[in-house]
């Protein structure tokens, strides 16, 4: 099973969709293509936003390039 997530990178106004095998956890490192090149990013926040239906929901994953 895969999970479709909405990805927000470094609080940029634009967001993108990404598919994961499982919802990433806060603090995990994920590799995503950013502007055509792969980049390692750290998960800083995960938000589950119900859309009002029992069968659907949105998952927003905020990531940062500032890996501490």
Domain residues of the chain, as ranges?
Answer: 3-64
pLDDT tens, residue by residue, 8-56: 998 888 888 889 999 999 999 999 988 888 989 999 999 888 775 545 5
pLDDT, residue 16, reads 86
pLDDT, residue 56, reads 56
Describe the chain by its helix, strand, coil percentages, rounded to 5: 0, 60, 40
């Amino acid at each position: 099973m895969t999970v479709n997530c909405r990805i927000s990178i470094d609080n940029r106004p634009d967001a993108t969709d990404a598919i994961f095998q499982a919802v990433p956890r806060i603090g995990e490192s994920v590799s995503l293509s950013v502007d055509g090149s792969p980049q390692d990013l750290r998960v800083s926040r995960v938000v589950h936003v119900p859309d009002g239906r029992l069968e659907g929901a949105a998952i927003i994953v905020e990531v940062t390039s500032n890996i501490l």
